[in-house]
Amino acid sequence: MLAEIFQQCKDQWIRSKHQKKHPFRTLTLATVNAAGVPQIRTVVLRDFDAQKMHFVIYTDDRSGKAKDLLLQPQAQLLFYDAKKLWQIQVDASCIRRSSDPKVYKQIPARSQKDYTTVLAPGTPIDNPEDVDYTAENPHFLQLTFEAQRIESLKLKRPVHVRSQFTRKAGEWRFQFLNP
């Protein structure tokens, strides 16, 4: 059953790559800032590698998360499927930062724009319509996270099922936990 749950997690992350409305298409990314304060926000899962257990997101290289991860690469990814009452927490480390122009060119033009604002994300402005864009030097950043530990919790009757998957020396170990 543990192997089945682990496989289900992987299957759903793979599916989310092609299904825009999949509940795992977005996740909550938790980082820790320079003051040691937790920071959480919603991001889109752009890619998932089931072999390596790598998760990829895109962001602006001036964003808070990009700065946090430079100082502290350890992060947590939270996925939630409200229909299945299924939560997955992924302890992961940001192992790669890339601004590869080849990846950037594959993004639809309207999404590319998100990484070309003149002002850094979070800069105070007077009017939401007043956002200037530049054609030069996009601030596109691809972040890759490698999972070290995964915890799945399925709320159901008669018993809730809580399971842990831990990577040890390249192998994944499976364990049920008391819910």
Per CB under 6 A, which region of 54-62, 75-83, 123-131, 146-154 contacts ligand FMN? 54-62
Q: Considering the rule CB under 6 A, would residue 32 count as an interface residue with ligand FMN?
A: no
Rg of the chain over all Cα atoms, to the nearest angstrom: 18
Residue 21 has which token pair? 């409305």
Contacts of 3 (CB under 8 A, 6+ apart): 174
Instruction: Please select the residue that binds ligand FMN; options are 2, 44, 103, 107, rule is CB under 6 A.
Output: 44
- For ligand FMN, how many residues bind (rule: CB under 6 A)? 14
57 binds ligand FMN (CB under 6 A): yes
Nearest CA to 9 among 116, 78, 88, 65? 88
Q: Does 144 bind ligand FMN (CB under 6 A)?
A: no
Task: For residue 152, give both structure tokens.
Answer: 């799945």
CA 109 to chain centre: 22
Residue 12 as a binder of ligand FMN (CB under 6 A): the answer is no
39 scored as a contact of ligand FMN (CB under 6 A): yes
Q: Specify the residue, 119 or 177, whose C-beta has the smaller distance to ligand FMN.
A: 119
Using rule CB under 6 A, residue 72 touches ligand FMN: no
The region of 12-20, 38-46, 47-55, 72-80 touching ligand FMN under the rule CB under 6 A is 38-46
Residue 38, preceding bond cis, omega within 30 degrees? no
Q: Give the residue from 29, 61, 40, 25 showing the smallest Cα distance to 145.
A: 29
Beta bridge partner(s), residue 144: 56, 96
Stretch that binds ligand FMN, among 8-16, 57-65, 146-154, 164-172 (CB under 6 A): 57-65
Binding residues for ligand FMN (CB under 6 A):
26, 39, 41-44, 57-59, 63-65, 121-122
